[in-house]
Amino acid sequence: MDFNADLPPDKEPLDWNSRMKIAAGAAKGLEYVHDKTNPSVIHRDFKSFNILLDEGYHPKDQNCQALVLQS
């Protein structure tokens, strides 16, 4: 499977370290909303295309669908 099929010919794919930085940042965001907020929040629709990246490849979740659990 070619994961870079949609990549324009003049663009380079992300290196492994950048991909891991994005994954770790997204995981930290999920941990925060699930474990550190009160009441807890469960993200209902967490998918890769819901993650926006800023210039420094810091992930931002753009989908705000969440289930709030009462504590």
Cα dist. 32→17, 22, 46, 54, 58 in Å? Answer: 22, 15, 14, 19, 15
45 is catalytic: yes
The predicted model scores a pTM of: 0.67
Selected catalytic residue, list 15, 45, 54, 61: 45
Instruction: State residue 17's pLDDT score.
Output: 92
The tens place of each residue's pLDDT in the chain, 71 residues long, gives 466 667 788 888 889 998 999 899 888 888 887 788 787 777 777 777 778 888 888 887 666 555 555 55
Q: Residue 65: what pLDDT?
A: 53
Of 71, 16, 15, 27, give the one whose Cα is nearest residue 51: 27
